[in-house]
Structure 1
Amino acid sequence: MNYLEFEKPLAEIEGKAEELRALAKSGEGMDVGKEAEALDKKAADMLRDLYKDLSPWRKCQVARHPDRPHCKDYIDALFSEYTPLAGDRNFADDHAVMGGLARLDDRPVMVIGHEKGHDTKTRIERNFGMARPEGYRKAIRLMDMADRFGLPVVTLVDTPGAYPGKGAEERGQSEAIARSTEKCLQIGVPLVSVIIGEGGSGGAVAFATANRVAMLEHSVYSVISPEGCASILWKDSEKMREAAEALRLTAQDLAKLGVADRIIKEPLGGAQRDREAAIASVGAALGDMLKELDGKSAKALVKDRRQKYLDLGQKGLAA
């Protein structure tokens, strides 16, 4: 397991417990079962204390944990008959964005999401989940298709933000993000979104302008990363802790502000400690959100979505 910086004391205790169990299995006649159990209990108590009241910066670290389930993991586990659709029919296929036709609980849907990759090779291939213009144009194409055939759209958001490279800017990055956000507001089918890790900047908004937005308990959603915010405001990226506090980027803050409609509880220690349970919780939330929108006309869905975002400023001021 990969441990975060604030989990280092926990790593030492769990490591010692594993060493004792390995020693017992080696057959050297040492009875260390009770000592290992005591360490396990101590580790469980420490894990509970560490995650009882995480600071916004620590939540950012958990949201970025390399072992958290990513978009592909959710699609593989929750969706059947997944048929990937590639390309924007204009420039290229962006591997940072995956999407296609699938079934969720035997219900046909269009699923779209950011994929970060799980090792060095796939992270480079997926550009660490940072989409280029062709990725957003692919998403627009898939949302258009879903609208044409009356399929609900499910989006899974996990990106540090849209790719800021020279080529992306030359191909109209900001325009592509704006068009994708506009398309989210236009389609006459249910659109539900889950922030499964990082929801960074317009790159996330372009997928998450939905009728219902859910966030995993330790996910974050913000106009800019804490490091970027600190660099702009204080000219010092090391002030990311203060920036994370000021941005109000946690699921708990955003639920109060009305940006997130529900918070999906994670296993103790984060989704990375029990991937199957976390994925199952997301699946249940997706099913519930789609049921809430069942029976609504295309006109009502568009109105509901637009009104949700027109009301956000008022809710924010009230909070």
Structure 2
Amino acid sequence: MYNYLDFEKPVADLEGKIIELKKLAEGDEAVDVSEEIARLEKRSRDALRDIYKALTPWQKTQVARHQDRPHCLDYVRGLFSDFTPLAGDRAFGEDHAIVCGFARFRGEPVAVIGQEKGDDTKSRLKHNFGMAKPEGYRKAIRVMELADRFSVPVVSLVDTAGAYPGINAEERGQAEAIARSTSACLALKVPSLSVIIGEGGSGGAIAIATANRVYMLEHSIYSVISPEGAASILWHDSTRAKDAATSMKITAQDLLELKIIDAIILEPLGGAHRGPDTAISATGDQIAKGLAELAGSNMDFREQRREKYLAMGRNL
């Protein structure tokens, strides 16, 4: 059984009936319910297709945050071989919210930087729900500098509600660390590529997502602030997050139209959480395509990034 979202109730009801019929058939082999099961499965697929064809920005936000959606480490395990993680920022300590290291992607060396939310209570606490502290961004900078030194492309996997807003993070220079990480992304002499696999929240995301190519999964979101945060600022009412999400243009479709991102990676019907392997494989194909395009060009990667980000918002 899936963890159903509120708007998926029609599908949940149908799939619940299918499960009941299958249990009935297992208990009594004389009962033939195969035709009824097939009919309900078709209705369930059709209902799921209709729902996901017309998702609102707030519903996409819920899908992007789904607890069963594949996370950074799932992509690392599914797409990269010989992954060697690096720990610590050589200044304060280790931050498990950001996973960094070197690996091979389809035989070629790459640097990997990603935000890991965790998939159960213990791992979520360990990874601080993907919300990095300054030492996490300084660790990312360290890996970017190594990638530059050894001429290795950088791939980042973004999935965070935002940087950690705690007092201890601010005391250690959170804003400065985010700014320096963003600057390090822009200064890379090697090609860089970023994929928003879930949430791309605020400067916490931009700090590792300022790349030559930026892709988003179909039902991911990318925003300057969370919908709840925007609602709190604009209306002093976080319960109006749905209104904020609708107004902020945070979906992959909106951002592709605005030329903020470069391509959308299609997800399986019902979201990446319903077909993790398919979503991970499609992401790998898009990463391979992007790296091939960048490797086959004679562009100055720093200059291309400069022009890419300066052009945003100029011709709207």
Report the TM-score when normalising by structure 2.
0.98
Q: Which residue of 2 aligns with 1:108?
A: 109
Match of 1:89 in 2: 90
SS in 2 for 1:188: coil
Q: Note the alpha carbon deviations across 1:187-235, whole angstroms, 9 max, x for none.
A: 1000000000000000000011000000000000000111111111111
State yes or no: 1:237 paired with 2:238.
Answer: yes
In 2, Cα distance between equivalents of 1:282 and 1:165: 33
Give the deviation of 1:237 after TM superposition.
1.1
Deviation at 1:131, TM superposition (A): 0.3
Task: Name the CA distance, whole Å, in 2 between partners of 1:295 and 1:73.
Answer: 29
Match of 1:223 in 2: 224
- Where do residues 255-274 of structure 1 align in structure 2 (5 Å cutoff)? 255-274=256-275
1:1-319 equivalence runs, <5 A: 1-27=2-28, 29-296=30-297, 300-315=300-315, 318=316
2: CA distance between counterparts of 1:283 and 1:259? 21
Query: How far apart, in 1, do the equivalents of 2:29 and 2:84 lie?
Result: 53
Which SS does the other structure have where 1:163 is aligned? Answer: coil
The runs of 5 or more residues in structure 2 that have no matched partner are none
2: distance between equivalents of 1:70 and 1:26?
Answer: 38
Judging changes above 3 Å, is the alpha-carbon distance between structure 1 residues 40 and 295 closer, same or farther for their aligned structure 2 residues?
Answer: closer
AA matched with 1:13: L
**CA offsets 1:81-101 (integer angstroms, 9 cap, x no match):** 001111101111100000101
Q: Distance in 1 between matches of 2:190 and 2:26?
A: 57
Matches of 1:61 and 1:4, distance apart in 2: 8
Count residues with an aligned counterpart: 315
Q: Secondary structure at the match of 1:101?
A: strand
How far apart are the structure 1 equivalents of 2:54 and 2:105? Answer: 34
SS in 2 for 1:87: coil
Supply the distance in 2 between the matched residues of 1:306 and 1:88 (Cα, whole angstroms): 27
Q: Which amino acid aligns with 1:123?
A: R
Equivalent position SS for 1:131? coil
Shift of the alpha carbon at 1:272?
0.6
CA RMSD of aligned residues (A): 1.0
Q: Distance in 1 between matches of 2:94 and 2:27?
A: 51
Structure 1 Cα separation of the partners of residues 239 and 111 of structure 2: 40
Q: Secondary structure at the match of 1:313?
A: coil
Cα distance in structure 2, aligned partners of 1:255 and 1:96: 28
How far does residue 28 in structure 1 lie from its aligned partner after superposition?
5.2
SS of structure 2 residue aligned to 1:24: helix
Deviation at 1:296, TM superposition (A): 4.4
Q: After TM superposition, what 4+ stretches of structure 1 lie above 4 angstroms from structure 2?
A: none
Identity %: 60
Using the TM superposition, give the Cα deviation of residue 27 of structure 1 relative to its aligned residue in structure 2, in angstroms.
3.1
Letter in 2 for 1:186: A
How far is the alpha carbon of 1:29 from its aligned partner?
Answer: 2.6
- Give the Å deviation of 1:295: 4.3
Tell me the alpha carbon deviations over residues 151-209 of structure 1, each in whole angstroms, 9 at most, x when there is no partner: 00000000000000010000000000000000000010000000000000000000110
Opposite residue 147 of structure 1, the aligned amino acid is: D
Q: Write the distance in 2 (CA, Å) between the matches of 1:135 and 1:23.
A: 52
Query: Structure 1: where are the runs of 5+ without partners?
Result: none
